[in-house]
Chains A and B, each alone.
Chain A
């Protein structure tokens, strides 16, 4: 039966109470100012430095928890996971994606993107009715089920209906936004398979990005340490293939790759360097194989 979530607000801090159980933290209201347009937007965040970060840190993605399932890929995605906050319940709802969730920062605005693919699989899990009883996957697409009709929530060109379902406006924090966040956080905290599914989808994303990069950059035989940086750049979208190609051709490609996109994202690059430091030696042992579409 569907779990009912009550919104609990204390100033800028938001929590939720599921049915009659204990209140749990969701996040705090944050303001985001677009540097280019100057437009201000408001939403929720539980990233470090905000209310809820302690809760988020209780659900960290650690490669060692998943190497029994993904012996190598669990390690390959860990540096990027660290850069993205590393929490299975990482949340932000203030930017153009309108809703971003998980340690891979799956963003809801991309048609057939990582959030959409992951959420489709979540909705097919048996406990989905506890959380989103009016959402279903029909013919491969998420729909909202109302009496006698199904309303499409996403298609190959747009996810706007689903974005609005999760987060009606960027002008304020609405109850619908808090409840949607509460549902995903509670679901992720309560069901280990939901966390496993997040790991699977992050690995699917990393594999897809590496395959795409191989087509453009020729990564066959290239070490996983270099591929890991390439994947991270593509995942965040901080630079294009031209910059990556130049770095790969440099005398010291690892160091050069780490600088790609660094002007706009210095903190990200710093975090990635720190995350790769103790992990590079292990990653270097494997190389990308185009024919296997895997690291060997």
Chain B
């Protein structure tokens, strides 16, 4: 198995551990056992494990967004060791990847890059205490360069791990999606590029580890 496949296995394992919450292609939600699963036992303990993977002492009952901790946990569990820039903020680890210091990982344009298992699908988001996020790949790339040069702070965003690709659809798994580890199905165009109005996708992290 490749590392990318191992990463998808870890993501699927975690999703199964949460009972399989899913958002289908038509937005239908299934498999959520509570409206805020992350606050229920044992799920908050799983979140605590995600924090632990990046050296945080948060135990999972805390307020910070934990989706980047989930990504970091999955890379760690899949055996990435020092080949991934672990961080609790997506834009910070993407800046690390885009610096070129992490061979096998690269930031690509979602408008021209088809998805494969083990890739990360990166979307911008808004939220409390978030500065206006970039809404295009070009702008996201500019922001990432500024972060690398310490000329800008992080911004709010979200990544999911690609676990399955079909004709016209992609399945991704991410943490802190509707307060759970959730499998979401998004639309692909006929060329295999992401094309779904539910999110603003600003990058693909190609995973050739």
B27 contacts partner chain A, Cβ-Cβ < 8 Å: yes
Is residue B33 within 8 Å, beta carbon to beta carbon, of the partner chain? Answer: no
Whether B199 is near chain A, meaning CB under 8 Å from some CB there, is yes
- Interface positions, chain B 105-163, Cβ under 8 Å from A, are 123-126, 132-133, 135
A121 and B187 contact, Cβ closer than 8 Å, known pairs A129-B126, A204-B26: no
**Please, how many angstroms separate the alpha-carbon atoms of A195 and B197 in the complex?**
8
Check if B35 sits within 8 Å of A200, measured CB to CB.
Answer: no
B176 at the interface (CB under 8 A from A): no
**B124 contacts across to A, CB distance below 8 A:** 126
* A140 and B29 contact, CB distance less than 8 A: yes
The smallest beta-carbon distance between A132 and chain B, in angstroms, is 11
CB distance from B194 to the nearest CB of A (A): 10
Which residue of chain A lies nearest to B157 when distances are taken between CB atoms in the complex? A126
Known A121-B197, A126-B200; further 19 A-B contacts with Cβ < 8 A: A1-B132, A68-B191, A69-B187, A70-B187, A124-B198, A124-B199, A125-B198, A125-B199, A126-B124, A127-B200, A139-B35, A140-B35, A140-B178, A193-B200, A198-B197, A199-B197, A200-B196, A200-B197, A207-B26
B190 touches A68 (CB 8 A): yes
Nearest chain A CB to B94 CB, angstrom units = 16
Complex CA gap A124/B156 in Å reads: 13
Interface size on A, residues (CB 8 A): 27
Residues of A within 8 A of B178 (CB): 140
The size class of the interface chain B forms with chain A is: 20 to 34
Would A69 and B135 count as touching, CB distance under 8 A? no
Also in contact, A121 and B126, with CB within 8 A (given A68-B189, A68-B190, A126-B133): no
- Bound: A100/B29 CA distance, A: 25
Q: By the criterion CB–CB under 8 Å, are B126 and A200 in contact?
A: no
Chain B contacts with A in 169-205, Cβ cutoff 8 A: 178, 187, 189-191, 195-200
What is the distance, in angstroms, from A229's C-beta to the closest C-beta of chain B?
22
Q: Is B36 an interface residue (CB 8 A)?
A: yes
6 residue pairs of the A-B complex, CB under 8 angstroms, read: A126-B200, A140-B29, A140-B178, A197-B197, A204-B26, A208-B26
A275 CB within 8 Å of chain B? no
Nearest Cβ in chain A — how far from B137, in angstroms? 13
**Bound state CA distance, A198 and B197, in angstroms?**
8
Q: For the complex, what is the distance from the CA of A191 to the CA of B200, rounded to whole Å?
A: 10
Produce 1/0 per residue, A115-150, CB < 8 A to B. Answer: 001000100111111000000000110000000000
Interface of A is mostly: helix
Nearest CB in chain A to that of B191: its residue: A68
- CB < 8 Å neighbour of A139 from B36, B125, B196, B198: B36
A266 to chain B: which residues have CB within 8 Å?
A: none
A142 to chain B, nearest CB (A): 14
Please measure, in the bound complex, the distance between the C-alpha atom of A71 and the C-alpha atom of B191, giving whole angstroms.
Answer: 11
Among residues of B, the one whose C-beta sits closest to the C-beta of A67 is B190
Please report the C-alpha to C-alpha distance between residue A191 and residue B199 in the assembled complex, in whole angstroms: 12
Q: Which of B195, B197, B198 has the most CB of A within 10 A?
A: B197
Interchain CA distance A286-B189 in the complex, whole Å? 20
In the assembly, what is the distance between CA of A1 and CA of B190, in Å? 35
User: Which residues of A sit under 8 angstroms from B133, Cβ to Cβ?
Assistant: 126
Q: Does A196 contact B (CB under 8 A)?
A: yes
Please give, as numbers and ranges, the residues of chain A lying within 8 Å of B199 by CB-CB distance: 124-125
User: Judging by beta carbons under 8 Å apart, are A121 and B190 in contact?
Assistant: no
Nearest 3 CB-CB pairings of A with B: A197-B197, A196-B197, A139-B35
